[in-house]
Amino acid sequence: METKLVSIKQASKMFNFPLQKLYQLVANKEVPYVEIENLSGTISNKINTRAFAEWLDKLAEENRRI
């Protein structure tokens, strides 16, 4: 998988993952994400697609519930 930084909404669509649950996981810092600050000082959260896929794989191997 090619590594990309995508918005939470885009990651939700790419991985067929519930949007509100993904926002909640990011807010609780339970999922790998990157905070990016632009020139105006606004911070946006981005999902690294490779890290997120690896995180999902690890949860699946451990049979954990999200």
Do 8 and 47 meet the contact criterion of CB atoms below 8 Å apart? Answer: yes
| pLDDT value of residue 50 | 96
What per-residue confidence (pLDDT) applies to 2?
86
* pTM (2 d.p.): 0.87
Confidence of residue 17 (pLDDT cuts 50, 70, 90): very high
Identify the pLDDT of residue 35. Answer: 96
Domain boundaries, the chain: 5-61
**The tokens 């690294």 sit on which residue?**
48
Residue 3 has pLDDT above 80, yes or no: yes
What pLDDT was estimated at residue 28? 96
